[in-house]
Amino acid sequence: MAFVRLLALPRRLFPLFFALLLVAVVRFFAFSLVPICALLVSFQDISDVKVCVPVTTRLHSRRTRRKRHGLSSISLRRELKLSRVEVAVKDLPKPTEGVFSNTMAYVRWGDGPKTLLVIPGGPGNGPPSGGQVRMMMSRSLRPLLEDGYSLWMVARRRGMPPGYTIEDMAADYADLIEVEFDGSVDLVVGISYGGAVGQYLAANHSDRFDHIALVGCAYTFSDDGRRLDLDFASALSEGERSKAGRLMADAMLAHSRWRWAAPVLGTLIGLIPSPTHDRFTSDVMVEAEAEMALDARPVVSRIPGPVLLVGGDKDFYVPVPLIEETAQLIPDCTLVVYAGKGHAGAITNRRLAPDILEHIGNNPRAVR
């Protein structure tokens, strides 16, 4: 019936109708698709395995959960579905955005007495978006806000010269902490590319924080992952956002039940505007080239304090042998691997914040 009514419209109104329809679709995807994609790639398995160094294992299966809670199979699935979809973003404090004097952009949540510095992934140092980033990170980091942390997500500085290394980026964060955070923060969480930066921060500037968690990273990334990031950065630097979106969606959904939708989702993600700056096209290539040269094996062995290292056993960028080797190289490392989780699934896992808080409880004060 709707199609018949559409045919009844005057021909001259067709362009206006389709323009309004396009605006509605873009608005829907801008506010819904990115968080939906983040949730899809993270909901690949409801069980997880915790592996520590020294190795201990704790497995929660579907069967034991049903027995413990006295739920039928149908009611359990309904409960899990509701808990997965419920992100409760509306209860989060309103984020504030800004740019420090050294050109490093930030988003801040909360005003707790403890300071959490989040180093985001890459390649790319666009300003963190208060809407999209909050939607994606609220599942994994919100409990830290509730524990009294104020969360600062800070992008890398703008205008990095060619040849700038990940070690140089870590020095920028150390200087930022010195100038803007009175010389020290309580907790650093490095996410993906930000975890690689965090390794150098931990080795060279351990006096700048009390505790550190590195998520979705290792002393390097897989060859395929680094090549993907280089292609992704090249597409962004050339203004081909849809191509960049397709490249990333293909990789992130490769082990998901939603992998069939990757081409369409990637194209649509590429159409969603995202904040950049006037040096972004060169900075994204600097970051990608620094990633290609990344080999932090000599560096991680110099980290003096305890480190929490987190990943997924289906991570395209950080396969299990790579993250296990990294954990063995770090003198005091606790390794947590989430079963059935890929790169995004580990980063957005609901267990991440509890595991970080447990690590802090087991190591009350890092050695500086």
pLDDT tens-digit map of 225-258: 999 999 999 999 988 888 888 887 876 666 667 7
Q: How confident is the model at residue 259 (pLDDT cuts 50, 70, 90)?
A: confident
Distance CA(117)–CA(65), nearest Å, equals 35
Residue 32: is its pLDDT beyond 80? Answer: no
In a domain, 358, yes or no: yes
CATH number at residue 159: 3.40.50.1820
Average of per-residue pLDDT across 261-269: 78
Residue 21: is its pLDDT beyond 60? Answer: no
Helix, strand, coil share (%) of the chain residues, nearest 5: 50, 15, 35
Percent of the chain with pLDDT over 70: 69
Give the global pTM.
0.76
In a domain, 25, yes or no: no
Average of per-residue pLDDT across 68-87: 39
Residues 90-140 have pLDDT tens digits of 556 678 899 999 999 999 988 899 999 999 999 999 888 666 556 555 668
In a domain, 244, yes or no: yes
CB 38 within 8 A of CB 344: yes
Residue 9: is its pLDDT beyond 60? Answer: no
For 51, half-sphere exposure in the C-beta direction (CA atoms, 13 angstrom radius) is 13
3-state secondary structure at position 305: coil
Residues 297-342 have pLDDT tens digits of 999 999 998 999 999 999 989 999 999 999 999 999 999 999 999 8
Distance CA(162)–CA(234), nearest Å, equals 15
pLDDT score, position 269: 72
3-state secondary structure at position 49: strand
Q: How confident is the model at residue 221 (pLDDT cuts 50, 70, 90)?
A: very high
How many Cβ atoms are within 10 Å of 242's Cβ, its own excluded?
14
Distance CA(37)–CA(298), nearest Å, equals 36
DSSP label at 330? S
The residue type of 238 is E
How many Cβ atoms are within 10 Å of 367's Cβ, its own excluded?
10
In a domain, 175, yes or no: yes
In a domain, 300, yes or no: yes
Average of per-residue pLDDT across 43-49: 36
CB 27 within 8 A of CB 124: no
Please indicate whether residue 34 or residue 169 has the higher confidence score (pLDDT): 169
Domain ranges, residue 127? 36-362
In a domain, 177, yes or no: yes
Please indicate whether residue 264 or residue 181 has the higher confidence score (pLDDT): 181
366: tokens are 């890092």
Please indicate whether residue 219 or residue 71 has the higher confidence score (pLDDT): 219
pLDDT score, position 137: 59
100: tokens are 């420090």
In a domain, 281, yes or no: yes
pLDDT score, position 138: 62
The residue type of 93 is P
In a domain, 88, yes or no: yes
Q: How many domains does the chain have?
A: 1
Of the ranges 204-218, 275-289, 351-365, which is most confident? 204-218
Give backbone dihedrals phi and psi of 191, rounded to 5 degrees, phi first: -105, 115
Distance CA(215)–CA(346), nearest Å, equals 8
Residue 72: is its pLDDT beyond 50? Answer: no
> Can you count the helices (H) and strands (E) in the chain?
16, 10
Distance CA(60)–CA(158), nearest Å, equals 44
